[in-house]
Amino acid sequence: MSVARALLLLLVAFISLSHAPVHAQQTGREPVLLVASPAMNDPHFSETIVLVVFPPHGGPTGVVLNRRIELDWAEAFPDDEVLRARSDPVFVGGPVRMDMLWFLVRSPTAPPDGFPVLADLYLSTDAAFLDRLLVEKGKVERFFVGYSGWMPEQLEREIALGAWYVLPADLDTILDPDPDQLWRKLLARATAVET
């Protein structure tokens, strides 16, 4: 069996084993990590790791976990008193809607407009939730500009063509303190052959 076919079957298994939480926006499948194949020829995704969630309507949605950018918060958000004072690292979430701020947050309550990821971790664009969180000195795990998105079935085709390896999502990887080394680490995991 080819690696691409095996990975496609793994993705199908994730679909059938889904147990999505009953809060925020339910997702149709468990989240996955996409590891760009060395053969990936799209410059937006070369050497990337993408956290992907599966909204019930529309295609898979995700954020790139390992593409840090320089962002001057005061310049990017001059009219937002709370955001312009930030100094957190920011990542390019993907090539779609680069004018949109996404964030990963751990919270005992789900953002009204957020996707459950794992345990108490959510992916959201909910500005009102973010404002409350930051005013209350809550912690945001990661900030992203833009996101990655696929039409229904587009991602499965890309996996079948060998553009991506698929791994189960886990908190340690998603919140890895050294995201610059994440691609090499996960590529080694994805291509390891069990003996």
Q: Is 52 in contact with 61 (CB distance < 8 Å)?
A: yes
The domain in which residue 54 lies consists of 3-191
Between residues 175 and 192, the one the model is more confident about: 175
Two structure tokens written together for 108: 């005992």
- The percent of residues in the chain predicted with pLDDT above 70, rounded, is 84
Contacts of 183 (CB under 8 A, 6+ apart): 35, 36, 47, 48, 49, 66
pLDDT of 28 over the 80 cut: no
Specify which residues 144 forms β-bridges with: 91, 102
Instruction: State the pLDDT at residue 152.
Output: 79
Instruction: Report the alpha-carbon distance of residue 24 to residue 37 in Å, rounded.
Output: 32
Mean pLDDT of 62-91: 92
27: pLDDT confidence band, cut at 50, 70 and 90? low
Q: How many CB atoms lie within 10 A of CB 34?
A: 31
pLDDT at residue 1 tops 70: no
| pTM for the whole structure | 0.84
Question: Does the CA dihedral 33-38-40-42 come out positive or negative?
Answer: positive
> What is the predicted pLDDT for the residue at 137?
83
Residue 101: the pLDDT is: 93
The answer to which of 9-18, 108-117, 158-167 has the lowest mean pLDDT is: 9-18
pLDDT band at 81 (very low <50, low <70, confident <90, very high): confident
Token pair 């309550």 is found at: 109
Predicted confidence at residue 18, as pLDDT, reads 30
pLDDT tens column, 131-187? 899 988 888 999 999 999 999 799 999 999 999 999 999 999 999 999 999 999 999
CA distance 178 to 10: 27
- Residue 32 is encoded by which pair of tokens? 């996955």
For the stretch 41-65, pLDDT in tens is 999 999 999 999 998 887 899 999 9
What pLDDT sits at residue 11? 32
> Which residue carries 């339910």 as its tokens?
26
Residue 134 is part of a domain; what is its CATH number? Answer: 3.40.1740.10
Structure confidence at residue 192 (pLDDT): 87
Burial of 162 (0-12, 13-18, 19+ CB in 10 A): middle
Q: Number of structural domains, the chain?
A: 1
